[in-house]
Amino acid sequence: MTDPLPSSPASGPLPGPWRLPLLGLAVVALALGACSKQTPKAPGAAPEVAVLTLQAQSLALAQELPGRTVASQESEVRPQVSGVLQARLFEQGERVKAGQPLFQIEPALYQAAVNEAQANVRTAQATAVAARLRAQRMQQLGAGQLAAQQDVDDAVATHQQAAAAVQAAQAVLDTARTNLGFARVTAPISGRIGRALFTPGALVTNGQADPLARIQQVDPMNVDITQSSNEYLALRRAIADGGVEATRAPVQLKLSDGTAYPLAGTLEFADIDVDQETGSITLRAQFPNPQGQLLPGMYVRAQVGQGTRQQALLVPQAAVDRSPKGEALAWVVGADGRVHQRTFTTARAVGDQWLVLEGLRAGEQVVLSGRQGLSEGATVRIKPATAAAPAPAPAAAPAGEG
């Protein structure tokens, strides 16, 4: 039988069998007390960010502008004489050449007028021959004092009148022949002809309002492009200040379905005035159109080269945030390794990058990734990022300054 546990420590030292269990409890209590004391935490490491060093580069500027295709030449075919339309001499929708017969108007009346004019010419010529011979004889008689000077003068005047009558008759003949030629209506220009608006048997008249057909020259094709006067003036100022070098870059075309037109065009001229209603200037470009892919009246977008900007700075759009006011913001790492949020303005989008107008300088490091949780003046660890390649001048839509 084991010894009973004493009622109190005052009763004397614990018996031997109880000493070891009580010692273990004391050790556990000391360990728990040590764990309950709070130990200080080590300071956190600086956040790691990827940066891009801004580098100035030469950038060819281009802008995408709306435009409409316009035939380089257009002609409405109208009759120049009146008569009944006898025949159509072309295939509708086909290409025609300048001078090619298109319609035939009944020529009988005009042929008769030519025959009559020819007869009048021969009559006038015969009268002129007789007058010339009489004038010569009278001049000989007058030289020998065998005829009065008045008779000589009358004979010479009659000869001159007869010669003038020949010229008048010849002019009438020329007019009759011209009208006979107009009875066959020909193409004034080369191009593609549309449908015939009059059929054989119809009565057509000289100077009528409705054309017989319409011809459009679509190779080459013109494109009228509109640009705001503000953008035009800004470009002129940039060229004058030396920030942009003027170039004659080719114009690229994008069709209404988004596909690119394979052939490049050239900018021909800018209009001399500003549209009062829209405040825009019209630019005209010309494109080769050998396959007839471009049709008049199509809506297109033209990528127009607008010179080269020297010392251009590009910032990836992924590195740019926006303030509630729409201002462009970027985190810039200073020489001391601390980040600062910078407000800057952009000129336009160039692909997936922003063209910097002001607020950033070449050589500064802009944070590309790791911006989450950054605070003003925080120290960061830099991880270099792959440098952005210079943009090959894609179409750049104007962007509002941010």
Check whether 397 has a pLDDT greater than 70: no
Binning pLDDT at 50, 70 and 90, where does residue 196 land?
Answer: very high
C-alpha distance from residue 396 to each of 148, 152, 384 (Å): 95, 89, 28
DSSP SS3 for 285: strand
The answer to whether 84 and 334 have CB atoms below 8 angstroms apart is no
Distance, CA of 333 to CA of 351 (rounded, Å): 25
Q: What angle (nearest 5°) sits at the alpha carbon of residue 253, between those of residues 230 and 388?
A: 75
CB atoms within 10 A of CB 291: 9
Check whether 203 has a pLDDT greater than 90: yes
- The structural domains of the chain, with segments of one domain joined by +, span 49-59+311-384, 62-71+216-308, 79-104+184-210, 108-182
Lowest-confidence segment of 16-30, 248-262, 298-312 by average pLDDT: 16-30
Instruction: For 232-286, write each residue's pLDDT tens digit.
Output: 777 676 666 555 555 566 788 999 888 999 999 888 877 777 877 888 888 888 9
Residue type, 211: P
Tell me the average pLDDT of the chain: 82
Distance, CA of 199 to CA of 196 (rounded, Å): 7
Second-level CATH architecture of 108-182: Orthogonal Bundle (1.10)
Check whether 309 has a pLDDT greater than 70: yes
pTM of the predicted model as reported, rounded to 2 decimal places: 0.61
Instruction: For 318-341, write each residue's pLDDT tens digit.
Output: 899 999 998 999 999 998 989 999
Check whether 44 has a pLDDT greater than 60: no
Token pair for 109:
């009346």
The DSSP code sequence of 317-331 is GGG-EE-TT--EEEE
Distance, CA of 80 to CA of 3 (rounded, Å): 145
Which listed CATH number (2.40.420.20, 3.10.129.10, 1.10.10.10, 1.10.8.80) goes with 49-59+311-384?
Answer: 2.40.420.20
Cis-peptide into 15, omega within 30 deg: no
DSSP SS3 for 286: strand
Per-position b or e across 226-253, b if 16+ CB within 10 A of its CB: bbeeebbeebeebeeeeebeeeebebbb
Second-level CATH architecture of 62-71+216-308: Beta Barrel (2.40)
Give which of 349, 291, 292, 300 is closest to 320, Cα–Cα: 349
Highest averaged pLDDT of the listed ranges 230-244, 261-275, 354-368, 376-390: 354-368
Q: Which residues pair with 38 in a beta bridge?
A: none
Second-level CATH architecture of 79-104+184-210: Beta Barrel (2.40)
